[in-house]
Homo-oligomer: A and B are copies of this chain.
Amino acid sequence: MKDFDLLFEQNPVFSALSEDKKQLVKKTGISKRFSKGEMIAIDGDIWPYLFLITKGNVHALKSSMEGRNLVVTTFIEGDIFWGLAFFYEHMPMPVSLEVAVNTSIMLWSAENLVPILKSEGASAWELSRLMVYKMMRASEILEEMTFQPVAGRLAKLLIDTVRNQQNGPVTRSLTLDEMAARIGSTREMVCRFLHRFADDGIIDITRTEFRVMDSQKLALVAQNTKG
């Protein structure tokens, strides 16, 4: 866990503030802790806050009226996020924020923070950029969900998972349900495709771990080359 001051300084929005505003902002922030599984805010809430994660991970998730969930994105230490109501008074949250592991955040209300941001062009500008970045991510997800079949999305997920690991066999850290939530499918489908990949020699898989055998082929599947 990094120091709060460090994370604060590393954030483009906060670091663009003038010194005195920085101090003011630091003072008005409220520190909170959540345990795994708790919800910071729920889809539909009017939640006029902006927060910085000082430790842990938070999932942004959408859920349909049936059971299916989609983990749209995961926020990590140092990230900031907000409720729509931070920007538009009466707007409801488009996602729920679920705490993935024990997490600490620093929280600001719109009431306190907005006047400060408005007064500092550089900071507001950085905020715009951040938004654009999030929008880009949303756009990518939309594209994947719309045009990519399940196999491609799963392949992409595997690549992302392995990227952060060493090369050898990897303990399966996500359950099938968790993988399914990340690609917008079901555990059964994920299971089937994993084994299909294994049949094709792309991965090796046991009930508890897996290893990418042919990352090239995997990349092809992720790019939808149905060869």
Contacts and interface: CB of A to CB of B under 8 A. Distances in A.
Given A124-B125, A125-B117, A147-B64, A142 B138 contact: yes
Q: Say how many copies of this protein the assembly contains.
A: 2
A210 to B, nearest CB: 26
Nearest to A94: B139
Contact of A146 (B65, B70, B121, B124): B70
Q: How large is the interface on A (under 10, 10 to 19, 20 to 34, 35 or more residues)?
A: 35 or more
9 contacts: A64-B146, A70-B147, A72-B142, A84-B136, A94-B139, A117-B125, A124-B124, A127-B128, A135-B138
Interface of A: 62, 64-65, 68, 70, 72, 84, 87-88, 91, 94-95, 114, 117-125, 127-129, 131-136, 138-143, 145-147, 184, 224
